[in-house]
Structure 1
Amino acid sequence: MTYLLSCRLPNRHQSLQPLAMARGLLAAGERLLRRFARSRMQRRPGLCLLMVVMAVCSVAEAARLDDELLVRDTTHQMPDLRALAAGNPRKVAFFELMIPLVVAQNQRLSEQRDWLQAMRRRAGEAGRDYSEREQERLNALCEQAQQRCSVSAADIGIPWDDLLASIDTLPLDMVMVQAIEESGWGTSGHARNANNLFGMRCFTSGCGTGRAGREYQRFESLEAGLAAYYQNLNANPRYARMRQLRARLRNAGERVRAEDLIPMLGAYSTRGEAYFATLNELLRWNRGLIRTVRERLAANGVLS
Structure 2
Amino acid sequence: MDNITLINRLPRIFFFGILLLSSIYFFFIGTEKYNTIKISEINIEEISQDININNRDKNIDKIYDISKLKSDLKDFSWVKKNKEKVNINNNEVALLINKMDQNNYNLEKVIFNKKIPGFFVNELPEDISYIRDTEQKKKLFISIVLPLIVEVNRDLKLKRSRLKKLYDKLSQDQTLTLKEHRWLINLALENSIKISQINKIEIAKNLLINIDIIPNSIAIAQAAKESGWGTSRFAIEGNALFGQWTFNNSNGLIPKERQVGEDHYVKSFVNLKESVKSYMKNINTHKAYKSFREKRFQYRQNNRSLDPIVLVHELSSYAELNNYTEILQLIIEKNELYIFDDVKLIINNSLV
The TM-score, its normalising length taken from structure 2, stands at 0.62
Structure 2 contact 217–340 (Cα < 8 Å) conserved: no
Fraction of identical pairs, as percent: 20
Q: Which has the higher contact order (CA 8 A, sep 6+)?
A: 2
> 1 CA distance for matches of 2:196 and 2:121?
34
Structure 1 contact 242–265 (Cα < 8 Å) conserved: yes
**Structure 1 residues 149 and 45 mapped into 2: Cα distance closer, same or farther (>3 Å)?**
closer
Match of 2:328 among 249, 271, 279: 279
Structure 1 contact 145–235 (Cα < 8 Å) conserved: yes
- The number of aligned residues is 254
Structure 1 contact 96–293 (Cα < 8 Å) conserved: no
**Structure 1 residues 75 and 122 mapped into 2: Cα distance closer, same or farther (>3 Å)?**
farther
Unaligned runs of 5+ in 1: 14-21, 47-71
Structure 2 contact 239–270 (Cα < 8 Å) conserved: yes
Alignment pair present for 1:161 and 2:205 = yes
Structure 2 contact 119–147 (Cα < 8 Å) conserved: no
Look up the equivalent residue of 2:235 and give its one-letter code: A
> 2 CA distance for matches of 1:261 and 1:115?
24
1:93-127 deviation line (CA, Å, top 9, x unaligned): 1111111111111111111111011111222657x
Alignment pair present for 1:103 and 2:150 = yes
Alignment correspondent of 1:219 = 269
Alignment pair present for 1:258 and 2:305 = no
Alignment pair present for 1:43 and 2:105 = yes
Alignment pair present for 1:138 and 2:184 = yes
1:292 CA displacement: 7.2
1:2-56 deviation line (CA, Å, top 9, x unaligned): 432023489xx9xxxxxxxx9xx59x99xx69x849952x42489xxxxxxxxxx
Deviates more, 1:178-187 or 1:87-96: 87-96
The higher radius of gyration belongs to 2
Alignment pair present for 1:177 and 2:230 = no
Match of 1:237 among 280, 283, 287: 287
Structure 1 contact 149–157 (Cα < 8 Å) conserved: no
Alignment pair present for 1:199 and 2:243 = yes
Higher normalized strand content (fraction of residues): 2
> Alignment RMSD, CA only?
3.7
**Structure 1 residues 45 and 292 mapped into 2: Cα distance closer, same or farther (>3 Å)?**
closer
**Structure 1 residues 86 and 199 mapped into 2: Cα distance closer, same or farther (>3 Å)?**
farther
Look up the equivalent residue of 1:145 and give its one-letter code: N
User: What is the DSSP-based 3-state SS (H/G/I as helix, E as strand, rest coil) of the residue aligned with 1:216?
Assistant: strand
Alignment pair present for 1:190 and 2:238 = no
The TM-score, its normalising length taken from structure 1, stands at 0.71
Alignment pair present for 1:90 and 2:137 = yes
Deviates more, 1:135-144 or 1:173-182: 135-144
Unaligned runs of 5+ in 2: 1-70, 109-117
Deviates more, 1:228-237 or 1:139-148: 139-148
Alignment correspondent of 2:339 = 291
Structure 2 contact 299–305 (Cα < 8 Å) conserved: yes
Alignment correspondent of 2:63 = none
**Structure 1 residues 251 and 264 mapped into 2: Cα distance closer, same or farther (>3 Å)?**
same
Alignment correspondent of 1:18 = none
Alignment correspondent of 2:163 = 116
**Structure 1 residues 161 and 132 mapped into 2: Cα distance closer, same or farther (>3 Å)?**
closer
1:47-67 deviation line (CA, Å, top 9, x unaligned): xxxxxxxxxxxxxxxxxxxxx
1:74 CA displacement: 6.3
User: What is the DSSP-based 3-state SS (H/G/I as helix, E as strand, rest coil) of the residue aligned with 1:271?
Assistant: coil
Structure 2 contact 152–277 (Cα < 8 Å) conserved: yes
Alignment pair present for 1:79 and 2:125 = yes
Structure 1 contact 190–210 (Cα < 8 Å) conserved: no
1:236 CA displacement: 0.4
